[in-house]
Amino acid sequence: MIRSATPDDIPEIGAMIRELAAYERAEEQARATGEQLREALFGEHPAASALIAEDDDTGETVGYALWFPLFSTWTGTRGMHLEDLYVRPHARGAGHGKALLADLAAACRRNGYDRFEWWVLAWNTPTIDFYTSLGVELLDEWKVCRLSGEPLTELAAQAPEVVDPACDG
């Protein structure tokens, strides 16, 4: 069963985020707190949305998908960025990941979104194989750019004075 996440799911979502980070060999980078997740998903101005996959027989939470809207200047339309897709190891192969993706694809169509995008680690062959079996197009010509930590702080220090406070937010 796939359903929208609720505030009661925050502990499980946090646990699965840490499990995903461990699988992706980046456990030390998963620092989001329960309060941060609660604010991001259910606060006054949510930054993201999440779906929960439950085992039909036991009701156990076996996976999640966390996404947020994006906008394409090329198409002039919104799209969806999938930040996380995770199914716990013991539940893989039972269709939960595909069900989460199908539900998100249906949401894209209902909302008129032209794009549904996400990243996958280059070494994650089983997941890449799963995605390509669904017809996903891998965009090899694009590279992910990330600015964080001290380099982000240093560049921010070089910013001119903000003329329009509306852009500050």
b/e code 37-72 from CB counts within 10 Å (16+ = b):
beebbeeeeeeebbbbbbbeeeeebbbbbbbeeeee
pLDDT at residue 154, as a whole number = 93
pLDDT at residue 44, as a whole number = 97
pLDDT at residue 146, as a whole number = 86
8 pLDDT band (50/70/90 cuts)? very high
User: Mapped to the 3 state alphabet, what secondary structure does 38-89 carry?
Assistant: HHHHHCCCCCCEEEEEECCCCCCEEEEEEEEEEEECCCCEEEEEEEEEEECH
Q: Which H or E run includes 156? A: helix 149-157
What does the DSSP assignment read for 2-14?
EEE--GGGHHHHH
pTM: 0.89
- The tens digit of pLDDT for each residue in 51-95 reads 999 999 999 999 999 999 999 999 999 999 999 999 999 999 999
Hey, where are the domains in the chain? Answer: 2-140
- The tens digit of pLDDT for each residue in 99-155 reads 999 999 999 999 999 999 999 999 999 999 999 999 999 998 988 898 889 999 999
Q: Enumerate the active-site residues.
A: 131
Q: Which CATH number does the domain 2-140 belong to among 2.160.10.10, 3.40.47.10, 3.40.630.30, 3.90.660.20?
A: 3.40.630.30
